């Protein structure tokens, strides 16, 4: 059932609506009181979650007899951003994920944020799905701050991601959707995967398998669910090595994300297309797993090129 969770009038007789699809079995089959919420589209240029929303709804539609609880799907929290392929809220130059929990008496954006929080409260689990930006590609991962690790880690391990990255409290942004929900005791996992403005079906299917595994654990789904992979977990900031461009130019990657590297392995080259010269060779400073790599080729000095998780991360 399609429901409008928030709306506001716009100029020229337009109405901005944020909608969800609530999927439930009939009253006799609704034997599980649990509710899972799948959220995406807070950033309009992050589209990986669109496929996940589609695939979750499609799979449930194929076997509705296995659904025992409630699944809420929110594909477009920032509909104007998605329509205009804009990261933030168009015309306001505003990152929507920096205004939560909002204010019901505030301006239009604060009001919408408060309505989103209101509607999501009561969820037993929420997945806030993001992509990387247009510059970087990420393997499927969940990012958790250490304040909520005890609450979230059991769920994160069932989500079928490759990597769980536990951050220190100094990196916590209190104005995000995830922080606002977790502080209200709604367990919320932040998923990062793929690249901006694109859909990576492989990653979408991987995460969808994880969502059905979570639903089965919660009692929402009684049908089959795939076995999930065991993620690598990092809690130590020193586990991750960051590579930044030493010069400006065009970055040509020679290794894909997900590769295992030895110290000194080439990751890519920075070239000067005007002079036809190689200006820098980028090599791995440590041995480990390349879980982030530059996708957009134009770089300035200091641009992030890659992240490497060192071998044998210390948990």
List, for residues 249-270, the tens digit of each pLDDT value.
Answer: 999 999 998 999 999 999 999 9
| CA distance linking residue 56 with residue 67, whole number of Å | 12
**Which is nearest to 120 in space by CA: 176, 194, 199, 64?**
176
**Which is nearest to 242 in space by CA: 203, 294, 193, 300?**
294
Q: Does residue 218 carry a pLDDT above 50?
A: yes
Q: What is the DSSP string of 188-211?
A: EEEEEEE-TT---HHHHHHHHHHH
| CA distance linking residue 143 with residue 250, whole number of Å | 30
Minimum mean pLDDT range among 9-18, 158-167, 224-233: 9-18
| CA distance linking residue 26 with residue 65, whole number of Å | 10
- Interval 82-110: pLDDT, tens: 999 899 998 788 999 999 999 999 999 99
State whether the Cα torsion 118-119-124-129 is positive or negative: negative
Give mean pLDDT, residues 302-309: 98
pLDDT number for residue 225: 97
């Amino acid at each position: 059932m399609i429901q409008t969770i928030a709306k506001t009038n716009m100029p020229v007789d337009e109405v901005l609506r944020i909608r969800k699809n609530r999927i439930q079995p009939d009253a006799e089959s609704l034997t599980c009181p649990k509710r899972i919420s799948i959220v995406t589209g807070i950033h309009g240029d992050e589209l990986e979650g669109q496929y996940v929303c589609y695939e979750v709804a499609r799979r449930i539609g194929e076997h509705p007899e296995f659904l025992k609880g409630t699944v809420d799907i929110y594909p477009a929290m920032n509909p104007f951003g998605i329509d205009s392929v804009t990261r933030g809220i168009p015309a306001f130059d505003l990152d929507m994920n920096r205004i939560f929990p909002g204010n019901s008496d505030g301006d239009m954006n604060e009001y919408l944020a408060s309505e989103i929080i209101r509607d999501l409260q009561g969820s037993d689990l929420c997945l806030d799905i993001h992509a990387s930006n247009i510059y970087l590609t990420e393997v499927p991962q969940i990012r958790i701050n250490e304040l909520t690790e005890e609450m979230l880690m059991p769920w994160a391990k069932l989500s079928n991601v490759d990597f769980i990255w536990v951050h220190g409290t100094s990196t916590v942004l209190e104005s995000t959707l995830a922080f606002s929900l977790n502080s209200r005791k709604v367990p919320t996992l932040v998923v990062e995967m793929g690249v901006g403005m694109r859909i990576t079906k492989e990653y979408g299917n991987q995460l969808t398998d994880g969502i059905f595994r979570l639903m089965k654990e919660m009692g929402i789904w009684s049908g089959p669910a795939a076995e999930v992979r065991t993620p690598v977990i990092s809690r130590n900031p020193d586990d991750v090595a960051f590579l930044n461009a030493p010069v400006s130019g065009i970055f040509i990657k020679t290794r894909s994300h997900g590769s295992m590297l030895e110290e000194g392995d080439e990751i890519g080259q920075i070239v000067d297309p005007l002079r036809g010269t190689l200006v820098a060779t980028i090599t791995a400073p440590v041995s480990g797993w390349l879980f982030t790599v530059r996708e957009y080729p134009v770089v300035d000095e200091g641009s992030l090129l890659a992240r490497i998780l060192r071998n044998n991360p210390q948990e």
